[in-house]
Amino acid sequence: MLSKQQRRNQRHKAIRARLFGTAQRPRLCVFRSNKHIYCQLIDDQTAKTIAAVGNQDLKSSKSFHDKIAVSYQAGQLIAKKALEKGVKKIVFDRRGYKYHGRVKAVAEGARKGGLKF
């Protein structure tokens, strides 16, 4: 039997085999832990991170106990940073997580911020 983490890693490898970020269309990579959420815009051609956001970067009046709202704000902030760098289109990498809850909130926040998937 494989653990939850091993199954997620297998899904992540299968997803990453199809996704590739470029300078014009970088990969928006989302990592979620039990407490925090992190987003990175990655150019895979040069192996460089264009922009990164964690929920610790947010100066929010929202409670950090409302993780979905904080994730939504992280998506909006990464979209703002991307637009400042001239990036309008991205490839969304959910890293083997279900497109549900906090991962979905990041995607919706990024879309609301002006990014096209």
Per-residue pLDDT of the chain (117 residues), as tens digits, is: 889 999 999 999 998 898 888 889 999 999 999 999 999 999 999 999 999 999 888 876 566 568 999 999 999 999 999 999 999 999 999 999 999 999 999 999 999 999 999
Separation between Cα atoms, residue 111 and residue 22, nearest integer Å: 19
Q: For strand 48-54 and strand 37-43, is the pairing parallel, antiparallel, or unpaired?
A: antiparallel
The enclosing domain of 61 has a CATH number of: 3.30.420.100
Beta bridge partners of 48: 43
* Domains contained in the chain, number: 1
Backbone angles phi, psi at 35, to 5 degrees: -105, -35
State the residue range of the domain holding 93: 4-113
Inter-CA distances, 75 with 35, 44, 51, 70, 112, Å: 16, 20, 12, 9, 8
Residues in a beta bridge with 30: 39
Terminal Cα-to-Cα distance of the chain (whole angstroms): 35
Tell which residue, 107, 102, 79, 104, has the closest CA to residue 33. 102
Residue 38: per-residue pLDDT: 96
- What is the spatial distance between Cα 6 and Cα 113, in angstroms, rounded to a whole number? 33
What pLDDT is recorded for position 1? 86
Q: What is the pLDDT of residue 99?
A: 95
pLDDT score, position 61: 56
Tokens of 14: 């299968």
Give the pTM: 0.87
